[in-house]
Amino acid sequence: MSVADWFGLFGHFLLLSLLSIGGAIVVAPDMHRVMVGQYGLLTDAQFNASIALAQAAPGPNVLFVAVMGYQAAGLAGAAATMLGIMLPSTTLTLAAWRWGQARRDWPAIAAFKAGLAPIVLALMAATGWLLVAQAPGWRHYAIAAIAALLVWRTRLHLLALIAAGAVVGALGWV
């Protein structure tokens, strides 16, 4: 990659950071478009493995961005992607939190918070669709739908669902 490509990738992650309402995982479809489709830095399998590895590891969920950057271009790639995704959103979140705390009783603030919920859900659904669509067959869709329903309608701990997914995968049911 040239220096211009590095700055392009860093700049793209800067912009994605501002869209990542609800976490970096909600902009994974666009990360896929850029890193797999546009730059060809990762394969579909590497992209999916980066997300799976980082989500299974303890720590913040945003670590998948560093894993993707590292797989694409080593430490420089990890730094470019992580700084890009963290810098704007962290700065903006701190400023917005301070401003919102000072005005938490305003009806417009409550309405804004309520309006963000459907946006976050739609972005997370797009991410889930991208990850499920990579695998052949219908079983992946059924398992994703069952997991979504269980998260929505029960109080099952997420680690139990992750363990169940590991068992399903180990048994070769998907």
The string of pLDDT tens digits covering residues 133-152 is: 877 778 888 888 888 899 88
Report the SS3 class of residue 77. Answer: helix
Q: Tell me: pLDDT of 174 over 80.
A: no
> How does 135-155 read in b/e, with b if 16+ C-beta sit within 10 Å?
eeeeeeeebbeebeeeeeeee
According to the model, what pLDDT value does residue 70 have? Answer: 92
Q: Tell me: pLDDT of 104 over 80.
A: yes
Lowest pLDDT segment from 81-85, 101-105, 110-114, 137-141: 137-141
pLDDT category at 173 given cuts 50, 70, 90 is confident
- Is the sign of the CA dihedral 58, 61, 64, 67 positive or negative? negative
Rounded-to-integer distance, Cα 92 and Cα 4, Å: 26
Domain edges within the chain: 3-105
The string of pLDDT tens digits covering residues 19-63 is: 887 788 889 999 999 999 998 999 999 999 988 888 888 878 888
* Nearest Cα residue to 18 out of 98, 72, 88: 88
pLDDT category at 95 given cuts 50, 70, 90 is very high
State the average pLDDT for the chain. 88
